[in-house]
Amino acid sequence: MRTLLITGPGGAGRTTVAVATARAAALRTPGRRVLLVTEAPAEAVGALLGDDLPAGLSLAHLDPDATFREELGALQERGTTVLNMLGARPLQAEELTALPGAEQFALLRALRRAAESGAHDLVVVDLPPLHRAVALLALPEQLRRYLRRLLPPERQAARALRPVLAQLAGVPMPAQWLYETAARWDEELAAVQAVVEAPGTAVRIVAEPGPAAADAVRAGLLGLALHQVPVDAVLANRVLPRGSADTWLAALAAQQDKCLDEWTAEGGPGHRVHELPHLGQDPRGAADLDRLAPPEAPAAPEATAAPEAMAATAAVVRPEWPVEDRRGEAGVLVWRIPLPGATKDGLDLVRRGDELLLTAGPFRRIVTLPSALRRCTVSGAALRDGELAVRFTPDPALWPRG
């Protein structure tokens, strides 16, 4: 299954591009099963598609309220005994309203269900705006780490005693219920994390070229690189025609060209910039969507290609952070971390046990060190050409001799 995650700065047209990409995928490859996941209202998507819903294309509209009620209801049901012990009154479905963040969990759940169903060849996901999308894609890994710290799996070794204690007390032990709930959450989060990290998953950033969007895209590329989420394209939306005799339009087009050149230079492996034309109106119907998904073109790093053309290319892979063995010449191991757009002032790293706390701009990630580096001490770091090189010196007391 291929998964395309469409995001971008607010108001850039990411929902429109997601609809156009999903529609083109279904039309250009007969028999391909395409799913479009979006939280946009059905009326808005319907206005874009008109009456033309290609065969093979299905829509999944998120309902955060219903997802929240379902999840909380299931949690209450599993914890009925404990709630009764505490004298709590269960909440009824009709009195529940979704809390902030319910949209993100509904989207993650939709991703997991799409992957588990195996019913689709391509899933196109209309993500929230860029900064929120980075946080969303990082959420499964972060929550799993929190669960492991708060409820370490090794502490479940004594769970065989809990049924005995439960019989003596006459009620299930709360700790058993807690660990069972944590294990279920970890399993679900692991399934979502697997989708995000799968070789067939990639992000496409939709942005209208300009100074404000340039800053947002630069930050987004940095955040996605920090979390090792591959970006295979920046889709420059609403690109003005060049060569206009009108000096005002010509100046705007020149400003867009400058931004497009920067995006091309800042991209990583497999990343390309594709231009989508300014339609002069709000997109509506098949003809407009066709213009936002032009015919397929040969894929090349320096060439533009239609969204669906890129969907047909080889699957992108999760960026690697290789460890370079330089013990022979410099006596160190070097961990190379690609961070395009990072600056020295915005970088910070702290070693804590077997983990590295890495901050890049507004983003932060805590990663587990590769096994070889756990037996080393951090001896320095350098940022050059968008790559952070962290030097580790082997600890003689821990490193094997010979």
For residue 214, the number of C-alpha atoms closer than 13 Å in the C-beta half-sphere is 15
Domain-ending residue, one of 256, 287, 311: 311
List all residues 6 or more positions away from 152 whose beta carbon is below 8 Å from its beta carbon. none
* CA atoms of 295 and 309, how far apart (whole Å): 8
Among 59, 56, 55, 57, smallest CA distance to 44 is for 59
Burial of 300 (0-12, 13-18, 19+ CB in 10 A): exposed
Q: In the numeric block, which tokens belong to residue 157?
A: 């070794």
**Residues 379, 272 share a domain:** no
Q: Where is the domain boundary, 245, 276, 311?
A: 311
- Give the C-alpha distances (Å, rounded to integers) separating 4 from 25, 35, 233, 266: 11, 10, 10, 21
Tell me which residue has tokens 């400003």.
Answer: 255
Same domain assignment for residues 29 and 96: yes
The answer to the question of residue 400 being in a domain is no
Q: Based on the domain organization, do 263 and 114 belong to the same domain?
A: yes
**Are both 187 and 269 inside the same structural domain?**
yes
Phi, psi of 318 (to 5 degrees): -65, 130
Who wins on pLDDT, 8 or 305? Answer: 8
Its sign, for the CA torsion 158, 161, 165, 170, is: positive
DSSP state of 97: -
**pLDDT at residue 153 is higher than 50:** yes
Residues 6+ apart with CB under 8 A from 386: 266, 338, 339, 340, 341, 342
Whose structure tokens read 């206005």?
47
Helix, strand or coil for residue 356?
Answer: strand
- 74 and 196, same domain (yes or no): yes
Neighbours of 119 (CB within 10 A): 12
Q: What is the pLDDT of residue 130?
A: 95
Instruction: Return the pLDDT at 310.
Output: 46
401 assigned to some structural domain: no
Return the structure tokens found at 63.
């309902």
Amino acid identity for residue 35 in this structure = L
The residues that bridge with 59 in the sheet, in sequence order, are 36
Residues 30 and 62 in one domain: yes
Helix H or strand E encompassing 360:
strand 355-360
Query: What is the pTM assigned to this prediction?
Result: 0.85
Helices (H) and strands (E) in the chain, counts: 12, 14
Asked if residue 379 is part of any domain, the answer here is yes
The tens digit of pLDDT for each residue in 220-275 reads 999 999 999 999 889 999 999 998 999 999 999 999 999 999 888 866 555 789 99
Last residue of a domain, one of 256, 291, 311: 311
Q: In this structure, is residue 71 part of a structural domain?
A: yes
**Could you list the residue range(s) of the whole structural domain that residue 229 is in?**
2-311
Strands (DSSP E) contained in 149-242 are 201-207, 231-239
Confidence of residue 302 (pLDDT cuts 50, 70, 90): very low
The answer to whether residue 91 sits within a structural domain is yes
Do 58 and 196 lie in a common domain? yes
pLDDT value at position 309? 45
358: left (phi over 0), alpha (psi -120 to 50) or beta: beta
The CATH number that applies at residue 30 is 3.40.50.300
Q: Is residue 317 part of a domain?
A: no
pLDDT score of 216: 94
- For residue range 333-370, what is the model confidence (pLDDT) as tens digits? 999 999 988 999 999 999 999 999 999 999 999 999 99
Residues 161 and 260 in one domain: yes
Q: Give the burial string for 309-330 (b: 16+ CB within 10 Å, else e).
A: bbbbeeebeebeeebeeeeeee
What is the C-alpha to C-alpha distance for residues 244 and 325, in angstroms, rounded to an integer?
55
| CB proximity list for 124: less than 8 A, separation 6 or greater | 4, 6, 18, 21, 22, 25, 34, 35, 36, 37
Q: How many folded domains does the chain comprise? A: 2
Clarify whether residues 181 and 241 are in a common domain: yes
Mean pLDDT of 311-321: 67
In this structure, the answer to whether residues 234 and 380 fall within a common structural domain is: no
Is 95 exposed, middle or buried, given 0-12, 13-18 or 19+ CB atoms closer than 10 A? exposed
Asked if pLDDT for residue 102 goes beyond 90, the answer is: no
Spatial distance between the Cα atoms of 11 and 191, rounded to a whole number of angstroms: 31
Summarize the confidence of residues 282-308 as an average pLDDT: 63
Instruction: Return the minimum-mean-pLDDT range out of 129-138, 228-237, 304-313, 375-384.
Output: 304-313
Q: How many CB atoms lie within 10 A of CB 362?
A: 12
Nearest to 39 by CA among 56, 65, 60, 25: 60
190, 244: one domain: yes
Residue 397 pLDDT > 70: yes
Question: CATH code at 358?
Answer: 2.60.40.790
* Percentage with pLDDT > 70 across the chain: 78
3-state secondary structure of 171: coil
Whether residue 42 lies inside any domain: the answer is yes
- Count of CB atoms situated within 10 Å of the CB of 27: 20
Q: Which sign does the torsion angle of CA 293, 297, 299, 302 carry?
A: negative
Is 95 among the domain residues? yes
Q: How confident is the model at residue 317 (pLDDT cuts 50, 70, 90)?
A: confident
- Choice among 70-84, 104-118, 282-296 with the minimum mean pLDDT: 70-84
Q: Count how many residues are written for the chain.
A: 402
Q: What is the pLDDT of residue 52?
A: 74
Of 130, 189, 170, 169, give the one whose Cα is nearest residue 363: 130
Same domain, 126 and 265: yes
